Structure 1
Amino acid sequence: MSVDKNQVRQIVEAIGGKDNISAATHCVTRLRLALVDEGKVDKDALEAIDLVKGSFSANGQYQVVIGQGTVDKVYKEMVSQTGIGEATKDDVKKASEQNLNPLQRAIKTLADIFIPILPAIVTAGLLLGINNILTGPGIFFEQSIVEKYPQWADLANIINLIANTAFTFLPGLVGWSAVNRFGGSPLFGIVLGLMLVHPDLLNAWGYGAAEEIPTWNLFGLEVQKVGYQGQVLPVLVAAFVLAKLEKFLRSKIADSFQLLLVAPIALLVTGLISFIAIGPVTFAIGNVITNAVVGIFEFAPIIGGLIYGGLYAPLVITGMHHTFLAVDLQLIGSTGGTFLWPMVALSNIAQGTAALAMMFILKDEKLKSLSVTSAVSAYLGVTEPAMFGVNLRYRFAFISAIIGSALAGAFISVQAVKAPSIGVGGLPAFLSIFQENWASFFIGMAIVIVVPFVLTFLFGKLSKQK
């Protein structure tokens, strides 16, 4: 089925005309545009177009929510009408970076590194959840499933092995993505990351209990033979050094000798620097960050939960929420669990609930339909359609979701709810929560289902939304 060419023309006009488009691409549901001047966008006119389900600006890109299956047709028609030429996501990212300040660029860099490895992390979280169901006592029987039915034990063990792989070799994943982001060879990044968790090194998880730390003697300098399992900062900094060193070597060494010299020199020098300086320094910094975050929530969990639970959704608007993925992974690697991610899952549910409540308030059929579909999306962990398409359009819905999320965050923080991994941040999130915390987490889920719905409904009726 073809799209309405006139509506596509209206979209182009509403975003400031073809001359206002530096580059354009699309993802599964949205047009992603690098604009010359976002101030020229007529947001009201844009969102009044039937094809458009919402719009927002994030990370220097103006994104127009169209919908799965339709967005590619709209994009092709836009390219045909404007003659801008099809662009890749990297082209749009580069074009959009000119609109970012230094802090936004740093946040975007973290997002570019961690978003590509999220599928592996989320998959690991879901598989760990399945393993929890099989091995956790008191879920279906007084004893665990594998205790009652021993024939399931080996299957549970294999599931656990597969699930833990992403976290055991996390530096390999981060190294691949980070070196790629910094302009180096991704393969070198994988080798670098795996080098930092080599079996010959003392496992980082056994560092605190080790009676003696093995060392290398490098010409009189003692260097600890310690791995960095579950650590994020060491491989991030090392990947930056590796990528810059590789690019420098490629610019200085003749093409005929690059295969023999670039990789050995780059990996050897980066490896030495990593074990001598980068690793110990960043490991200490990571512990300081971990202790600071844990300390805040141990000292005043209700306040920490209120603040983080309430601020997470506004952080999504700015894109700063991506920085906390690194904190989550650091907490998991250092303490065995994160108390931040469960609040993220509840915040997503709260946004979905507020959007769902709008269905009972709004009269416009297009917006009612958008409310339902975006609520389902948020309940499955993707909140952008609900936040930008519905809740932010009617601020009371967004505020209601924040209130519900803050209250739930405070409750589960007091109850010390943790997750051993990151999973799907919606209704299936309980699978990635420690089984002993399920009861408290389900109460938190009840809070973010009831409170945002009631508040949104009441505020909506009082404001007489159409």
Structure 2
Amino acid sequence: MGISKISVEEIIEAVGGKDNISATTHCVTRLRFALKDEKKVDKTKLDEIDLVKGFFSSNGQFQVVIGPGLVDKVYDILIEITGNQSATKQEVKDIASKNINLLQRLVKTLSEVFIPILPAIVAAGLLMGINNLLAGKGIFFANQALIDVHPELRDISDIINLIANTSFTFLSALIGWSAVKKFGGNPLLGIVLGLMLVHPSLLNAYNYGDAVTKGTVPYWNLFGLKVAKVGYQGQVLPVLVSSYFLAKIEIGLNKRIPDSIKLLLVSPIALLVTGFVSFIIIGPITFSLGNEITYGLVYIFSHFPVIGAVIYGGFYSVLVITGMHQMFLAVDMQLIASTGGTFLWPILVLCNIAQGSAALAMMFITKNEKIKGLAFTSAISAYLGITEPAIFGVNLRFKFPFFSAMIGSALGAVVITVNHVKAPSIGVGGLPGFLSIFPQQWGIFFIGMIIAIVAPFILTFIFSNFSNIKIPTFKNKKS
């Protein structure tokens, strides 16, 4: 597809003109605008531009979906036309953050902490899935694992398992690095903080419950104050809050200590103060809070599984629209650490698949070639775990496909939830997601996947016959 300067000029005009653009950057698929006034965006005109595959507003940024490869060229032309200097993602985020409320800022912060470490988590999930194939009983042989029948594969499985578990074993170090960096501190100190919270000399958090029951929890005696000598393996909140505290301490010290002695004083003081505060105050409080959140979710899904499944399965895609879905990465990790598996992530997989199926149905319903092509490519993307093109480019545009996907994912979620399907790790949130499910639960999970594929597809066709929304059939202009 050729890119004309006129098409890029049309995009600029549709977002309110170059005077309405405070800053612009781009990611792999989208232009990201920090606009002075989003009300000036002409969405109808933007929708008719061939280059544009979709658009949406999130966390104060107006984002226009262009597609991989093309977005780089469009961005270069856009900068040339507007005369603006290239902005970094962080600069655009900083400008856009002025236009969002407190809750949106919290979600944005969590997103910016967890997104950078997501590749390590997803890679770990996929590797654990491969290990499940090797070590899971009943997959290839009745009551036996592949490594039982072929013991020469046992050590290979063991190495894969070691590599896969590393990200979860040292999760606090990953979070510490990303969080301290986000809060403006030295990310290397964040790594040290994270490792400190899971130091081998501390009681492993996974053994804390048994130690409490047996009365064998070790304590430090700090001038009469008893402080539990407990690690925070797999915990999210302790390292998040401690990272914020560490970053602020470091920033404060850097402002007050002369440059000549910063190297000698800033890092040692920051780590020392943060370490004591973390073990005495932050750790115990956030550890209890994280457990309460976990127990609350477990209680709801254990006692009211259908209600929980319908709410989370039906409305997860709504959370994607607001960006609040990023908060649940932390919840998933907390559930995995506390209970050995998350029941939320398998539902997420079905939600992504459902949006893909609804978009795929639109490929057969619409006669517009642009939407037909977008529907197909965005469906494939959703089946592989990336739903934004399907949601914003197709389903929300016509509304009924989006609602069809919500219903389909809720139905699938009920099936897997009442059968207690869990994932011991986070993987690819699409069709390959079954690899991260406990192997003995694959059968029922596949049933849930089939429902999430078939139901939205059929419902989209049914609702299209009753919808008052006109499916556009205009011919697109040549670019």
Q: Same fold (TM over 0.5)?
A: yes
Q: Match of 2:337?
A: 333
Instruction: State whether structure 2 residue 259 is matched by structure 1 residue 259.
Output: no
1:2 Cα deviation from its structure 2 partner: 5.7
Q: Match of 2:170?
A: 169
1:253 Cα deviation from its structure 2 partner: 0.1
Q: Match of 1:242?
A: 246
Instruction: State whether structure 2 residue 201 is matched by structure 1 residue 197.
Output: no
Amino acid across the alignment from 2:118: L
Segments of structure 2 that go 5 or more residues without pairing to the other structure are 473-479
SS in 1 for 2:56: strand
The sequence identity of aligned pairs, in percent, is 65
> C-alpha deviations, 1:8-47, integer Å up to 9, x for none?
0000000000011111000111101111001100011001
- CA distance, structure 1, for counterparts of residue 110 and residue 40 of structure 2: 29
Is the 1:2–1:73 Cα contact (8 Å) retained in structure 2?
Answer: no
- CA distance, structure 1, for counterparts of residue 419 and residue 146 of structure 2: 26
Instruction: State whether structure 2 residue 235 is matched by structure 1 residue 231.
Output: yes
Amino acid across the alignment from 1:31: L
- CA distance, structure 1, for counterparts of residue 411 and residue 289 of structure 2: 31
Is the 1:122–1:422 Cα contact (8 Å) retained in structure 2?
Answer: yes
- CA distance, structure 2, for counterparts of residue 123 and residue 196 of structure 1: 23
SS in 2 for 1:393: helix
Q: Match of 2:407?
A: 403
Q: Match of 2:87?
A: 87
- CA distance, structure 2, for counterparts of residue 64 and residue 286 of structure 1: 37
SS in 1 for 2:210: coil
Is the 2:138–2:440 Cα contact (8 Å) retained in structure 1?
Answer: no
1:453 Cα deviation from its structure 2 partner: 0.2
- CA distance, structure 1, for counterparts of residue 228 and residue 405 of structure 2: 48
Instruction: State whether structure 2 residue 99 is matched by structure 1 residue 105.
Output: no
SS in 2 for 1:207: helix
1:446 Cα deviation from its structure 2 partner: 0.6
Q: Match of 1:453?
A: 457
Is the 2:12–2:78 Cα contact (8 Å) retained in structure 1?
Answer: yes
Segments of structure 1 that go 5 or more residues without pairing to the other structure are none
Q: Match of 1:6?
A: 6
List aligned pairs for 1:436-451, cutoff 5 A: 436-451=440-455
Is the 2:137–2:146 Cα contact (8 Å) retained in structure 1?
Answer: yes
Is the 2:395–2:401 Cα contact (8 Å) retained in structure 1?
Answer: yes
1:279 Cα deviation from its structure 2 partner: 0.7
1:465 Cα deviation from its structure 2 partner: 2.8
- CA distance, structure 2, for counterparts of residue 349 and residue 129 of structure 1: 19
> C-alpha deviations, 1:359-417, integer Å up to 9, x for none?
10000111100000000000000000000000000100000000001111111110110
Amino acid across the alignment from 1:87: A
Q: Match of 2:471?
A: 465
Q: Match of 2:318?
A: 314
Q: Match of 2:138?
A: 138
What stretches of structure 1 move > 2 A for 4+ residues in a row?
Answer: 461-466
Amino acid across the alignment from 1:334: S
Q: Match of 1:149?
A: 150
Is the 1:135–1:146 Cα contact (8 Å) retained in structure 2?
Answer: yes
List aligned pairs for 1:374-413, cutoff 5 A: 374-413=378-417
- CA distance, structure 2, for counterparts of residue 321 and residue 218 of structure 1: 41
- CA distance, structure 2, for counterparts of residue 381 and residue 269 of structure 1: 42
Q: Match of 2:56?
A: 56
- CA distance, structure 2, for counterparts of residue 257 and residue 306 of structure 1: 58
Amino acid across the alignment from 1:158: I
Instruction: State whether structure 2 residue 423 is matched by structure 1 residue 419.
Output: yes
- CA distance, structure 2, for counterparts of residue 19 and residue 465 of structure 1: 33
- CA distance, structure 2, for counterparts of residue 288 and residue 70 of structure 1: 47
- CA distance, structure 1, for counterparts of residue 41 and residue 160 of structure 2: 49
Is the 2:180–2:190 Cα contact (8 Å) retained in structure 1?
Answer: yes
Q: Match of 2:209?
A: 208
- CA distance, structure 2, for counterparts of residue 79 and residue 460 of structure 1: 40
Q: Match of 2:475?
A: none
- CA distance, structure 2, for counterparts of residue 4 and residue 275 of structure 1: 59
Amino acid across the alignment from 2:251: K
- CA distance, structure 2, for counterparts of residue 46 and residue 281 of structure 1: 49
- CA distance, structure 1, for counterparts of residue 135 and residue 233 of structure 2: 24
- CA distance, structure 2, for counterparts of residue 267 and residue 90 of structure 1: 27
Is the 2:237–2:287 Cα contact (8 Å) retained in structure 1?
Answer: yes
1:462 Cα deviation from its structure 2 partner: 3.8
Which segment drifts farther, 252-261 or 210-219?
210-219
- CA distance, structure 1, for counterparts of residue 466 and residue 108 of structure 2: 39
Q: Match of 2:129?
A: 129
- CA distance, structure 1, for counterparts of residue 68 and residue 465 of structure 2: 32
Cα RMSD for the two superposed structures: 0.9
TM-score, normalised to structure 1, is 0.99
Give the total of aligned pairs: 466
Q: Match of 2:307?
A: 303
List aligned pairs for 1:4-83, cutoff 5 A: 4-83=4-83
1:459 Cα deviation from its structure 2 partner: 1.6
Which segment drifts farther, 207-216 or 122-131?
207-216
- CA distance, structure 1, for counterparts of residue 153 and residue 381 of structure 2: 34
SS in 2 for 1:270: helix
Amino acid across the alignment from 1:188: L
